Amino acid sequence: MSETRVNKKSMSLTDYAIRYGFVALLVGLVVYFSVAAEGFASPYSAVFIFQSVAITGILALGVTATLVVDGFDLSIGAVATSALMLSAYVMVVMEQSALVAVVACLLMGALVGLINGFLIVQMRVPDLLATLGMMFLLIGLQRIPTEGRSIATGMSLPDGSTAGGSFSPEFLALGRHRFDFFIDNLIPVSVVFLVVIAIGIWLFLEYTRYGRVMYAIGSNERAASLAGVPVKKYKIIAYMISGVLASVGGILLAARLGRGDIASGNNLLLDSVAAALIGFAVLGAAKPNAFGTAVGALFVGILLQGLTMMNAPYYTQDFVKGGVLVVALMFTFALSNRR
């Protein structure tokens, strides 16, 4: 990460605080919970944390792509729940295979991203408003085919018949299979997805010209355009990445739940946006980045798992997350904008 390099001579205490403050906090948290909460420092606990952040982490990586081009995508949560409902509908009601369901969800995510990008780039709707509108639209849309009910095998359909299909085992494996890793049945598929996607997005943003150009757009759109960058195309691609990753998150969620639950996924948007924004503070990057986003997601997961194991009540969770987010944003903007 060459862009986070800080000149050695000018490293003051604040520079250290900006750069390593968040990592130190993360390490401190792990040490504290390991001591204070019994069973925290175990492989199973670690895997549980990973699993709990896998879906939000994947969504957060998508948001990161839009943040890089100085955009924002509020529709990711709705895209994920739409993918959840769509995959259930395709398999349970339309009685199609797992592959069809997955492809349908990915296409849906890409299409939503395309429409978001079109609204923002071509119709000049501000990004927050365009994706907020899309969020409402999708939340409404996913309820229409089933008249607002959740989807499960054997449910009765609007036309009076009964849904005959079911979630195929291959599909469910996406959410429930665990790979052996030193210990049998340790690593869930969703965690593998998270790691692969995180590395992929990181390589894409840091080492390919596409990522480089996206950062240029985010920093100075006009300069990028005058350097010959097709700005509109890249912005649309960013929203498509976000849409596709959100649908991947939705697929994993569907596979874990095994039914098209209309009420799940409420927290996805806030959690993933928080992870991406916390990512700004990691290593003093002060800009959206894949590594930071992954660490941000992990940070929230560790915090919540630790608190749960210390018997903090569930209803304090959102408050804690909000607090972390505010502190992280303070780290990022108040301290590092002094440059």
Partner 1 sequence: MAGIPIKIRGLEKRFAANRVLRGVDLDIPAGKVTVLMGANGAGKSTLVKIICGLYAADAGQVELNGKPFAPTTPSEALQAGIVTVHQNINDGVVPDLDVASNLMLDWLANPKSAPVLNPRKIRRSAEEIAAKLGLNFDMNMMVSDLTLADRQLVAIARAMAHAPKLMILDEPTSSLSASEAERLFALVDKLREGGVAILYISHRMSDIRRVADRIVSMRDGTIVGQYETEPLDYEGAVNDMLGHTMTDVNIAVQAPGEKVLELENLQLKPESKPINLTAHRNEVIAITGLVGVGKTQLTEVLFGQLAPAGGTVTLKGKSYTPQSARDAINQGVFLCAKDRGTNGVVQDFDINRNITLPFLSSLSTLGFVRRRSEYRITNEAISKLGIVCQSANDDIGTLSGGNQQKVMVGRWLSHPSDVLILDEPFQGVDIAARRDIGAKLRETAKDRATIVLVAELDEALEIADRILVMAEFTIVGEHKNENVDVDLILEQVSGAAAPQDLQEQKEGAAR
Binding residues (CB under 8 A) for partner 1: these are 2-3, 5, 7, 207-210, 212-213, 215-216, 218-220, 222-230, 287, 339
Q: What is the smallest separation between the CB atom of 225 and partner 1, expressed in angstroms? A: 6
Of 167 and 291, which has the nearer Cβ to partner 1?
291
Contact (CB, 8 A) for 170 and 98? yes
Q: What is the smallest separation between the CB atom of 15 and partner 1, expressed in angstroms? A: 13
Q: What is the smallest separation between the CB atom of 319 and partner 1, expressed in angstroms? A: 33
Of 42 and 208, which has the nearer Cβ to partner 1?
208
Contact (CB, 8 A) for 225 and 231? yes
Q: What is the smallest separation between the CB atom of 211 and partner 1, expressed in angstroms? A: 9
Of 185 and 233, which has the nearer Cβ to partner 1?
233
Of 5 and 124, which has the nearer Cβ to partner 1?
5
Length of the chain: 339
Of 7 and 311, which has the nearer Cβ to partner 1?
7
How far apart are alpha carbons 29 and 55 in whole angstroms? 22
How far apart are alpha carbons 329 and 304 in whole angstroms? 19
Contact (CB, 8 A) for 258 and 153? no
Contact (CB, 8 A) for 290 and 205? yes
If one counts every other C-beta atom within 10 angstroms of the C-beta of residue 29, the result is 15
Kindly write down the DSSP assignment for every residue of 120-151, as one continuous string: IIIS---HHHHHHHHHHHHHHHTTTTTTT--B
Of 86 and 224, which has the nearer Cβ to partner 1?
224
Contact (CB, 8 A) for 271 and 300? yes
Q: What is the smallest separation between the CB atom of 204 and partner 1, expressed in angstroms? A: 8
Of 7 and 161, which has the nearer Cβ to partner 1?
7
Q: What is the smallest separation between the CB atom of 312 and partner 1, expressed in angstroms? A: 39
Q: What is the smallest separation between the CB atom of 272 and partner 1, expressed in angstroms? A: 23
Alpha carbon 251 to its chain centroid, in Å, reads 13
Which residues contact residue 59 at a Cβ distance below 8 angstroms, ignoring those fewer than 6 apart? 76, 77, 80, 245, 246, 249, 268, 269, 271, 272
The Cβ-side half-sphere exposure at 198, using a 13 Å CA radius, reads 26
Q: What is the smallest separation between the CB atom of 137 and partner 1, expressed in angstroms? A: 29
Of 70 and 73, which has the nearer Cβ to partner 1?
70
The Cβ-side half-sphere exposure at 75, using a 13 Å CA radius, reads 38
